[in-house]
Amino acid sequence: MKIFILISTVLMASGCATIVLKPADFSWPVETVLKVNAKGFISEERHTFDINTKPIFYEEFSDSNSYAGREIRIIRNKDGYYYFTGEGFKNVYMLQCVEGGMKLKEKLSVSDSLTLKMPVFNQKLNGIELIDGSTKYLIYGSEIVRAK
Give the tens place of pLDDT for each residue, 59-69.
999 986 888 88
Whether residue 94 is predicted with pLDDT greater than 60 in this model: the reply is yes
Whether residue 130 is predicted with pLDDT greater than 90 in this model: the reply is yes
The residue-averaged pLDDT of 20-39 equals: 78
The residue-averaged pLDDT of 26-38 equals: 85
Which residues, including other chains, have CB under 8 Å from residue 112's CB and lie 6 or more apart? 90
Give the tens place of pLDDT for each residue, 14-28.
555 565 556 666 777
CA angle 86, 76, 98 (to 5 degrees): 100
Map out the domains of the chain as residue ranges: 26-146
Q: What is the pTM of this model?
A: 0.77
CA angle 104, 109, 113 (to 5 degrees): 140
In angstroms, the CA 16 to CA 87 distance is 48
